[in-house]
C-alpha cells in the first residue's frame, strides 16, 4: 500500500505539471484557462487519502497552484486567492462524492457515473465559479457572468475528462492490470492504441471530408475489449491528438470560423461527449460480464444440488411444461422421463386441475410460493408428494416460467394424520372425542335446513356406583365395552363419540335419521343386556338414558345440545333406562316401552 506522503508527492507533481501546461497553453486574451484538469487530480487525491491527511494535501496543492499561476498565469498578486478557490473546488467535489455516493463506484456503475458527472462536472465547478469569477473580474475586468460561465465550462469539462482515468489509476480503487499482461492481450492492446492514434490523426489533421465520428470506432472497440481502462486511455489519446491539432491550427478545427477560445470549448464538448459514450458502455459491459459469470457459477451450483438432492427440482415454461427435471424426478414421478410433460404428470389424473389452479395462482402473484400436497399411488403403495412452485416474472411483467420443487412427504403426512387422529380420538375408548363430535355437529348445523339430522345424548345410569363398587379399572372396562357396542352400530350415516365421563353422543343422517329412534332403542337394550364382568369374575349390568332430538334448522351448538339435553333429563326423571325425544319419533318405528329393571349395577 502506497504511503500517504508518497501519494501526496506523486499527485502534487502531476498536478503542478498539468496545471502549468493548461494555464500556459489554454489562456486566450489573458483570461481564464479554457481547459482545467487540476480539480480532477486534486479531487482524486482527496478521495485516495484518509480525512486526517486532507489539510496537509490541501496546503501543498494550494502552494503548487499558487506557484503555477504566478509563473504562467495572472502573476503572484492574485495567485493565492485563485489557488484557494481551485483547491476548495477539488476538495468540495471529493466531499460531495463521498457524502452522496459512499459506495465509491464512480466508474463502476451507471449510478456512479451519473453521480460523477453531476457532482464533479456540475455542482463542484458551479460552487467555485462565482468566487472565481469575482477574482478574475478584479484582474482583467469584464462581465462577471461571462467569467463565471467560462469557469463552469472549463473546469466542469476538464474535470469530467480527467477524473475517470485518475480514479482508475489511483490505489484506493486498485485496477487489475492482469488481463493486459495475459498472453494474446498485450499486443492487441498496443495495436488498438496505435489504431486510435492513427484514426485520431486522420480525423483531426485533415479537413477534406467530415471525420469527427471516426474516433468513435476505436473507442467502442476499446470499451468492448479492455473495459473502462481501455476506454479512458483511448479518450486520453484522442484528447492529445485533438489538442495538438488545435494548437497547430491544422485540420478540421482550423476550418471553424470562430475564435480560438470557442474552438477550445468545442473540443472539450466533443471529448466529453466521447467519454460519456464510452464509459457507460464499458461499465455496462463489465456488469454484464460479471452477471454472466455469476449466472454460470450459480447454474453450476444448482446443477450440483439438483444431481444430489432427494427432491425433484423442476423448471417449467409459461404453460407448465417441464423443461428441466433433476434426477430425483424419475423416482418421484414413477416415469423414466418427465421432459416435455405437464407438471400434473407427478400426480393422479384427477389432481391435474388442482395443479393447473396452483400454476394460475402463482402466475397471478409472482414471488409468492404456492403449495400443492396430494396423495399418489407408487408401486402399490400410497405416498404423499408436496410441490412448491413459484412463477418467474419477465421484464414485461408476464410470467415466463416456473420453478418447482417436489418432495416425498409421506412420513410427515402419516405423522400428521396420526397426530390428528389422536387429537380427535378418545384415548380410552377409541371413539371420536368431544372435539371431533363438535366439529361434526357444527358441519351438520350449517346445512341443517336442507339436510335435517338426529342428535342424541347418551348417559350411563348411576355410573359412579360402578366405580365405587368395582373400582375405576372396571369402570374403564365398562366404558370400553359400551364404546364397542356403539362401534358396531357406526356407519357412514351414524356417528358416535365419547363426550366425556360416562356421556356419549350420536348424530344420525340420511336413512339413519328415519330410524334414529329404533337405533337409540336398540342401543339402550343392547347395553342393558350386555353382561359386564368385575375383577372377581362376577357379572353385572348397566343401563343408559337417551335423549334424542331432530335438528331441522340452523342454530348454535349450545342450542342443539339443549335440544337433546331436555329429553335426556326427561329420561332420567322417568326412572332412567329409557329413550325420550323432543319430537314424536314413533312415526318412524314402533317402539315398545322398556320394562322396569332392577337397580343399575346390581350383581347377578
Instruction: Give the tens place of pLDDT for each residue, 184-194.
Output: 678 888 888 89
Cα torsion for 43, 17, 140, 40, to the nearest 10°? -20
The pLDDT confidence band at residue 30, using thresholds 50, 70 and 90, is low
3-state helix, strand, coil in the chain (%, to 5): 60, 15, 25
Predicted TM-score of the model (pTM): 0.47
Mean pLDDT lowest among 256-265, 427-436, 462-471: 256-265
The percent of residues above 70 in pLDDT, for the chain, comes to: 88
Cα 399 from Cα 370, distance rounded (Å): 14
Cα torsion for 378, 381, 382, 383, to the nearest 10°? -60
- Is 80 exceeded by the pLDDT of residue 559? yes
Confidence (pLDDT) at 84: 95
Residue 28 phi, psi dihedral angles, 5° rounding: -115, 140
Residue 429 phi, psi dihedral angles, 5° rounding: -95, -20
The pLDDT confidence band at residue 257, using thresholds 50, 70 and 90, is confident
Contacts (Cβ under 8 Å, ≥6 apart) of 482: 429, 460, 504, 527, 530, 542, 544
The more confidently predicted of residues 181 and 596 is: 181
Cα 246 from Cα 3, distance rounded (Å): 39
Q: Three-state secondary structure along 445-483?
A: HHCCCCCCEEEEEEEECCHHHHHHHHCHHHHHHHHHHHH
Instruction: Give the tens place of pLDDT for each residue, 391-415.
Output: 887 655 555 789 999 998 888 888 8
Cα 314 from Cα 486, distance rounded (Å): 50
Residue 36 contacts residue 22 (beta carbons within 8 Å): yes
- Is 90 exceeded by the pLDDT of residue 180? no
CB atoms within 10 A of CB 549: 25
Nearest to 305 by CA among 334, 338, 331, 328: 328
Confidence (pLDDT) at 112: 83
User: In order of start, what are the domains of the chain with their CATH numbers?
Assistant: 1-175 (1.10.1760), 177-304 (no CATH), 309-416 (3.30.450.20), 424-587 (3.30.70.270)
Instruction: Give the tens place of pLDDT for each residue, 313-366.
Output: 888 988 889 988 888 888 888 888 888 899 988 998 888 899 999 998 988 888
Instruction: Give the tens place of pLDDT for each residue, 92-129.
Output: 999 999 999 998 888 777 788 888 888 988 899 999 99
Average pLDDT over residues 27-43: 75
Confidence (pLDDT) at 596: 39
Confidence (pLDDT) at 592: 42
Nearest to 385 by CA among 325, 311, 459, 453: 311
The more confidently predicted of residues 584 and 90 is: 90
Mean of pLDDT over the chain: 83
Amino acid at each position: 500500500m502506497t504511503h500517504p506522503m508518497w501519494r501526496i508527492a506523486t499527485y502534487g507533481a502531476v498536478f503542478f505539471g498539468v496545471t502549468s501546461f493548461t494555464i500556459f497553453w489554454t489562456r486566450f486574451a489573458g483570461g481564464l484557462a479554457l481547459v482545467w484538469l487540476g480539480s480532477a487530480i486534486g479531487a482524486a487525491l482527496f478521495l485516495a487519502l484518509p480525512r486526517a491527511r486532507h489539510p496537509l494535501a490541501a496546503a501543498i496543492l494550494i502552494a503548487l497552484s499558487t506557484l503555477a499561476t504566478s509563473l504562467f498565469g495572472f502573476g503572484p498578486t492574485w495567485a493565492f486567492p485563485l489557488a484557494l478557490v481551485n483547491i476548495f473546488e477539488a476538495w468540495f467535489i471529493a466531499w460531495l462524492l463521498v457524502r452522496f455516493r459512499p459506495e465509491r463506484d464512480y466508474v463502476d456503475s451507471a449510478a456512479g457515473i451519473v453521480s460523477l458527472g453531476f457532482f464533479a462536472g456540475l455542482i463542484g465547478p458551479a460552487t467555485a465559479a462565482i468566487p472565481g469569477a469575482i477574482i478574475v473580474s478584479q484582474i482583467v475586468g469584464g462581465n462577471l457572468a461571462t467569467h463565471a460561465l467560462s469557469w463552469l465550462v472549463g473546469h466542469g469539462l476538464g474535470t469530467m475528462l480527467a477524473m475517470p482515468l485518475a480514479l482508475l489509476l489511483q490505489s484506493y480503487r486498485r485496477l487489475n492490470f492482469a488481463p493486459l499482461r495475459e498472453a494474446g492481450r498485450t499486443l492487441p492492446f498496443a495495436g488498438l492504441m496505435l489504431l486510435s492514434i492513427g484514426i485520431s490523426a486522420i480525423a483531426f489533421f485533415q479537413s477534406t471530408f467530415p471525420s469527427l465520428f471516426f474516433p468513435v470506432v476505436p473507442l467502442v472497440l476499446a470499451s468492448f475489449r479492455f473495459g473502462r481502462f481501455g476506454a479512458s486511455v483511448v479518450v486520453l489519446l484522442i484528447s492529445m491528438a485533438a489538442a495538438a491539432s488545435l494548437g497547430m491550427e491544422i485540420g478540421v478545427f482550423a476550418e471553424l470560423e470562430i475564435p480560438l477560445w470557442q474552438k477550445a470549448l468545442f473540443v472539450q464538448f466533443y471529448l466529453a461527449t466521447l467519454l460519456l459514450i464510452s464509459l457507460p458502455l464499458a461499465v455496462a459491459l463489465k456488469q454484464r460480464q460479471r452477471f454472466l459469470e455469476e449466472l454460470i457459477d450459480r447454474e453450476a451450483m444448482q446443477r450440483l444440488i439438483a444431481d444430489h438432492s432427494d427432491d425433484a427440482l423442476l423448471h417449467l415454461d409459461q404453460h407448465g411444461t417441464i423443461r428441466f427435471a433433476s434426477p430425483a424426478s424419475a423416482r418421484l414421478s414413477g416415469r423414466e422421463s418427465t421432459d416435455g410433460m405437464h407438471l400434473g404428470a407427478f400426480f393422479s389424473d384427477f389432481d391435474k386441475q388442482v395443479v393447473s389452479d396452483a400454476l394460475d395462482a402463482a402466475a397471478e402473484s409472482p414471488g409468492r410460493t404456492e403449495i400443492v400436497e396430494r396423495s399418489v399411488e407408487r408401486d402399490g403403495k400410497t405416498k404423499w408428494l408436496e410441490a412448491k412452485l413459484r412463477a418467474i416474472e419477465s421484464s414485461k411483467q408476464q410470467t415466463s416460467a416456473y420453478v418447482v420443487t417436489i418432495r416425498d412427504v409421506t412420513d410427515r403426512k402419516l405423522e400428521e394424520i396420526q397426530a390428528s387422529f389422536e387429537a380427535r380420538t378418545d384415548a380410552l375408548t377409541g371413539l371420536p372425542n368431544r372435539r371431533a363430535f363438535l366439529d361434526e355437529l357444527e358441519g351438520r348445523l350449517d346445512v341443517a335446513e336442507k339436510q335435517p339430522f338426529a342428535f342424541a345424548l347418551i348417559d350411563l345410569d348411576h355410573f359412579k356406583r360402578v366405580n365405587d363398587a368395582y373400582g375405576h379399572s372396571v369402570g374403564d372396562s365398562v366404558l370400553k365395552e359400551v364404546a364397542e357396542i356403539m362401534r358396531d352400530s357406526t356407519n357412514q350415516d351414524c356417528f358416535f363419540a365419547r363426550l366425556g365421563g360416562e356421556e356419549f353422543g350420536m348424530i344420525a343422517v340420511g336413512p339413519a335419521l328415519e330410524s334414529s329412534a329404533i337405533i337409540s332403542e336398540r342401543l339402550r337394550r343392547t347395553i342393558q343386556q350386555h353382561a359386564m364382568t368385575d375383577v372377581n369374575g362376577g357379572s353385572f349390568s348397566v343401563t343408559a338414558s337417551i335423549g334424542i332430538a331432530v335438528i331441522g334448522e340452523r342454530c348454535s351448538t349450545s342450542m342443539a345440545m339443549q335440544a337433546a339435553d331436555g329429553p335426556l333429563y326427561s329420561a332420567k326423571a322417568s326412572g332412567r333406562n329409557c329413550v325420550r325425544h323432543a319430537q314424536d319419533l314413533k312415526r318412524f318405528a314402533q317402539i315398545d316401552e322398556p320394562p322396569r329393571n332392577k337397580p343399575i349395577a346390581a350383581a347377578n
